[in-house]
């Protein structure tokens, strides 16, 4: 293994090892890490200071807001108390308050009544009768209501309670000076809730108005606990010591399980508190955004500094490493260039030689220094004639235009003519211009000779196949003539046309001779048909025919062997079956062959059915189904090949040569159709032949009752 920090002394390198950092580089890395750490410490300190400022701003905001809300509550309570005092002294409601109440009653809204916070003013007799009222819809009697109960207890302040209209109220009451009843002022607590809800203090913050007992009178944010029980926070809301007017709070809030800050302030002169509580998350929402921005900025600066420093530290080392690697790469490339058995060269776009490997120099018969810088087509070792030289030059010009060029040529090497496969590949720069041409030449003499031998062998095979077909056709014709005589004479002997044979054995012999002759004739006919199909000399005699009639004729011919084998044979053709353009003899041959196979391979008691109809593509489909022994899946792939059977024992048990399905397939293929087999051992076989729609004549449409 060679360390690239040292000069390469030659040879190939299996793995690359980078030089270890020097002590100076280590010191620089340490300084860089210290600078980055300083950036992070400064960023952390700035973030902490910004957080403290945000919390202090939040505290100041809660203090200012609590002061404003406390002043509002004190003003409302003071105005209400002074109004109530005047009512108790005079025993009646002043006319100007009655006028304001009438104006308020004329307009809609939950704050109707004398003033925005006062809901109702009334003077009530001890028995609950209303002597005078402002802002009350039914002033006759309040017996049994909350104001009546307050009058009986003579409580000065009662609340909160829910009014029949659904709003929350509180009552200030004072006995009349003349002792004839009570003066009362109903305060609209929902007015405070609306005021508090209008303050923008964040989604996790809340403003409370509550009494010394901790019962909440009004609040700014929806709370299921307070909606159900106004005293739900009685144990946790803060109270102030005597003489204490306000207090700033911060820390964990057990009611919501999060940090919060806030200010609680006593309503001057009243046993009430205003509590502005702000969630720390609301106060620090802006700080959270700034924090992530600052972290990302610091991280980006750190990454940039780190990358710049690493690039700077490695630049010098990489320069040396790159130089050494380039030298090693040049040596390796030259070694690969020279060790290749192919002829390789580098040319400029104008065809001048830039570099050559050793086989190229050997073919030219000159050393590299005599070739570099000269046009490639000038050397006769590569282009032994002017015609080949011009072709080589034209190929270089095409490659220089950006095209990949490949052609074959012949050269003379060691006194022998060799065929070379030459390719010229253009190399483009970033702008797309051709800067280099790579020439490769491979000796394909053996491949060309092998192709020639293969072509000669193919011609011989085709000639042998034609000779075989001609021989089979000739022999089949020559054999059929004596077989016809044998079959005919055996027929005469069986019928004893010229007298008795004399012995019963002669009658059996004649029947065996006739059966063997017919069997041999069938075999010869199959072989002759197969040879014609293979030779492409089978000519169809096509005409429009009725497929239903052909199917019925073939069924009738197959009934006798089916009945003798105990097999039920049926035919079912769809009504209105269209005519078919086909060779009737070929169609009958295919149907008889399929029916013969179905009957032959169906055990006694089985069924064979022929069906025909138009398929979804408009073609004609004829299917022969049986309940016979079936065909194994591994035999379906070969069963339609000539002389193939599903089982080697079938010829001995059932007879046959294995040509029938192959002939059927080829005959249907001549009709541009197809033959398919669907079978399962023990469950039967279905053979379907399909003719294309072009061979089916559709029935003519009927209009007005006439065809």
Half-sphere exposure of 670 (CA within 13 A, CB side): 24
Q: Classify residue 352 by its DSSP letter.
A: B
Tell me how many degrees the CA angle 159-163-166 measures, rounded to the nearest 5.
Answer: 120
Which residues have CB under 8 Å from 135's CB, separation 6+? 101, 104, 105, 112, 113, 114, 118, 119, 120, 121, 186
Q: How far is CA 544 from the centre of its chain?
A: 53
pLDDT of residue 671 exceeding 50, the answer is yes
Minimum mean pLDDT among 482-496, 520-534, 601-615: which range? Answer: 520-534
Let me know: does 233 contact 224? Beta carbons within 8 Å: no
Query: Tens of pLDDT along 397-439?
Result: 888 888 888 877 777 766 667 777 788 888 888 888 888 888 8
Mean pLDDT throughout 520-537?
A: 68
Residues 424-435 pLDDT 10s: 888 888 888 888
pLDDT at 480 over 70: no
Residue 642 has pLDDT above 70, yes or no: no
For residue 580, the model assigns a pLDDT of 92
Q: What are phi and psi of 410, to 5 degrees?
A: -120, 145
Cβ partners under 8 Å of residue 590, min gap 6: 663, 664, 667, 668, 689
Beta bridge partners of 209: 218, 274
Contact residues for 620 (Cβ-Cβ < 8 A; gap 6+): 547, 577, 578, 580, 612, 613, 614, 690, 691, 695, 696
Q: Is the four-CA dihedral 198, 201, 205, 209 of positive or negative sign?
A: negative
Determine which helix (DSSP H) or strand (DSSP E) holds 621, and give its type and residue range: strand 620-626
Cβ within 8 Å of residue 97, ≥6 positions away:
83, 114, 121, 134
Which tens digit of pLDDT belongs to each residue from 186-205? 888 888 988 988 888 888 78
**3-class state of residue 320 by DSSP:** helix
140: exposed, middle or buried (Cβ count in 10 Å: 0-12, 13-18, 19+): exposed
Q: How many Å apart are CA 216 and CA 236, to the nearest integer? A: 12
Q: Are 298 and 43 in contact (CB under 8 A)?
A: yes
| Contact (Cβ atoms closer than 8 angstroms) between residue 168 and residue 189 | yes
**Predicted local distance difference test score (pLDDT) of residue 702:** 43
Whole-number Å distance between alpha carbons of 470 and 257 = 103
Residue by residue, what is the 3-state secondary structure of 209-265?
EEECCCCEEEECCCCHHHHHCCCCCCCCCCCCCCCCCEEEEEEEECCCCEEEEEEEE
The pLDDT score that the predictor gives to residue 154 is 62
Contact 280, 62 (CB under 8 A): no
CB 353, CB 345: distance < 8 Å: yes
């Amino acid at each position: 293994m060679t360390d690239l920090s040292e000069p390469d002394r030659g040879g190939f390198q299996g793995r690359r090892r980078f030089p270890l950092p020097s002590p100076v580089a280590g010191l620089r890395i340490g300084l860089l890490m210290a600078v980055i750490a300083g950036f992070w410490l400064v960023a952390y300190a700035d973030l902490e200071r910004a957080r403290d400022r945000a919390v202090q701003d939040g505290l100041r905001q809660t203090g200012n807001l609590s002061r404003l809300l406390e002043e509002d509550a004190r003003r409302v309570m003071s105005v209400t108390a002074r109004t109530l005092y005047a009512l108790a002294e005079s025993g009646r409601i002043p006319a100007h308050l009655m006028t304001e109440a009438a104006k308020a009653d004329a307009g809609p809204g939950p704050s109707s009544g004398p003033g925005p916070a006062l809901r109702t003013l009334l003077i009530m007799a001890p028995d609950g009768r209303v002597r005078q009222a402002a802002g009350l819809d039914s002033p006759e009697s309040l017996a049994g209501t909350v104001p009546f109960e307050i009058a009986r207890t003579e409580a000065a302040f009662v609340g909160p309670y829910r009014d029949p209209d659904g709003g929350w109220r509180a009552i200030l009451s004072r006995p009349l000076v003349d002792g004839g009843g009570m003066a009362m002022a109903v305060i609209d607590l929902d007015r405070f809730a609306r005021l508090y809800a209008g303050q923008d203090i964040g989604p996790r913050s809340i403003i409370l108005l509550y009494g010394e007992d901790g019962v909440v009178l009004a609040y700014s944010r929806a709370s299921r606990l307070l909606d159900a029980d106004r005293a739900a926070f009685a144990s946790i809301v803060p109270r102030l010591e005597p003489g204490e007017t306000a207090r700033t709070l911060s820390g964990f809030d057990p009611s919501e399980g999060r940090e919060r800050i806030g200010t609680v302030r006593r309503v001057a002169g009243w046993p009430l508190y205003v509590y502005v509580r702000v969630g720390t998350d609301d106060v620090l929402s802006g700080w959270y955004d700034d924090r992530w921005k600052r972290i990302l900025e610091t991280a980006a600066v750190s990454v940039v500094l780190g990358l710049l420093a690493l690039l700077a530290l490695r630049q010098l080392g990489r320069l040396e490493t790159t130089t050494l690697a380039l030298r090693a790469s040049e040596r390796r490339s030259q070694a690969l260039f020279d060790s290749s058995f192919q002829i390789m060269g580098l040319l400029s776009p104008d065809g001048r030689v830039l570099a050559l490997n050793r086989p190229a120099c050997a073919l030219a018969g000159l050393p590299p220094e005599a070739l570099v810088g000269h046009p490639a087509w000038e050397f006769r070792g590569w282009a032994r004639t002017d015609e080949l030289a011009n072709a080589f030059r034209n190929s270089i010009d095409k490659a220089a235009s950006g095209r990949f060029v490949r052609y074959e040529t012949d050269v003379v090497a060691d006194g022998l003519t060799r065929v070379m496969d030459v390719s010229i590949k253009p190399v483009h720069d970033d702008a797309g211009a051709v800067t280099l041409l790579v020439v490769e030449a491979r000796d394909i003499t053996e491949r060309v000779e092998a192709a020639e031998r293969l072509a000669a062998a193919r011609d011989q095979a085709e000639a042998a196949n034609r000779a075989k077909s001609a021989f089979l056709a000739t022999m089949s014709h020559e054999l059929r003539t004596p077989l016809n005589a044998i079959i005919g004479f055996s027929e005469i002997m069986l019928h004893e046309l010229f007298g008795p044979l004399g012995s019963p054995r002669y009658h059996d012999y004649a029947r065996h001779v006739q059966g063997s002759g017919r069997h041999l004739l069938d075999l010869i006919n199959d072989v002759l048909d197969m040879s014609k199909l293979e030779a492409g000399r089978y000519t169809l005699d096509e005409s429009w025919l009725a497929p239903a009639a052909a199917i019925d004729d073939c069924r009738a011919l197959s009934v006798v062997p089916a009945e003798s084998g105990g097999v039920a044979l049926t035919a079912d053709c769809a009504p209105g079956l269209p005519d078919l353009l086909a060779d009737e003899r070929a169609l009958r041959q295919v149907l008889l062959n399929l029916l013969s196979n179905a009957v032959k391979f169906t055990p006694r008691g089985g069924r064979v059915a022929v069906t025909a109809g138009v398929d979804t593509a408009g073609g004609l489909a004829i299917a022969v189904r049986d309940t016979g022994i079936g065909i194994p899946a591994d035999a379906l792939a070969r069963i339609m090949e000539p002389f193939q059977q599903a089982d080697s024992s079938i010829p001995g048990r059932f007879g046959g040569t294995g040509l029938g399905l192959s002939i059927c397939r080829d005959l249907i293929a001549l009709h541009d159709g197809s033959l398919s087999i669907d079978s399962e051992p023990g469950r039967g076989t279905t053979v379907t032949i399909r003719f294309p729609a072009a061979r089916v004549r559709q029935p003519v449409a009927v209009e007005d009752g006439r065809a």
